[in-house]
Amino acid sequence: MFKSFGRGQRVSATTVEHPALKVKPRHIGIIMDGNGRWARKRGLPRVAGHHAGMTAMRETIRACDDFGIECVTLYAFSTENWKRPISEVEYLMRLPEQFFRNEIEELVSRGVRVRFLGDTSQLPPYTQETVRNSLLRTEGNTGMTVNFALNYGGRNELMCAIERYAREIADGKASVGDLTEADFDRYLDTAGLPALDLVIRTSGEIRLSNFLIWQAAYAELWFTDVLWPDFSRDDLFQAISDYGRRKRRFGAVE
């Protein structure tokens, strides 16, 4: 039934009505990996891969919106990525500025609301300014939510959440013993967002690399060998239609 809509075939915006998109994830997380290898294969510097990855990111946001996805989280820079050479880190820190300069009008016209996950206070001032501006430009929007995980690490997010909770206890606003899993969500960077349904990772690596570790507890995982700059609308369609065929039991029996 779904075979004729496999890879290589164009999937237009109208396919939001397609049967394979009937059961679709509300929230998709994407580990955009393989930029460096994409560049190396072409004899280019790693940063050329990051630049090409920006185009794939734009196309993926468009496709998610066209497919009627409510929320997408893009892993752009991890708390571990500071270990990279300073020149690469500096390039990556300049990319948000470039991305939003080119894309903000379209994002606004699509009604996209931009959010950031991770500790943005540790970013260089020019990156923080881009963060602030894109939040301001899109804060009233009610369409798809696009989260950029920037200086994000799942462990760091959990530590910060625990600290927020502990502070509320110290201030008498919360009490020990009352906390439920649903309550704990409020302290996370993803507070208020739909539950994470699907994690996509490109480039053939089969790990989470500290991405949404709490939220991914019951997410479906989908891996592809495609390198991030080559990731297309058709690949996304494939991931979403695979998701639609999975049986999610959450520990129960059918």
- Indicate which residues carry an active-site annotation: 33, 81
Q: Whose Cβ is closer to ligand IPE: residue 9's or residue 98's?
A: 98
Residue nearest to ligand IPE (CB): 36
Q: How far is the CB of 126 from Mg ion (least distance, A)?
A: 24
Q: Does 205 bind ligand IPE (CB under 6 A)?
A: yes
Which residues are CB-neighbours of 131 under 8 A, at least 6 positions away? 96, 116, 120, 123, 150
- One of 15, 24, 27, 33 touching Mg ion (CB under 5 A): 33
Segment interacting with Mg ion, rule: CB under 5 A, options 31-39, 50-58, 156-164, 179-187: 31-39
How many residues make contact with ligand IPE (CB under 6 A)? Answer: 18
Any contact of residue 189 with Mg ion (CB under 5 A)? no
Residues 67-86 that bind ligand IPE (CB under 6 A): 75-78, 81
Binding site for Mg ion (CB under 5 A): 33
Binding site for ligand IPE (CB under 6 A): 31-37, 75-78, 81, 92, 203, 205, 207, 209, 228
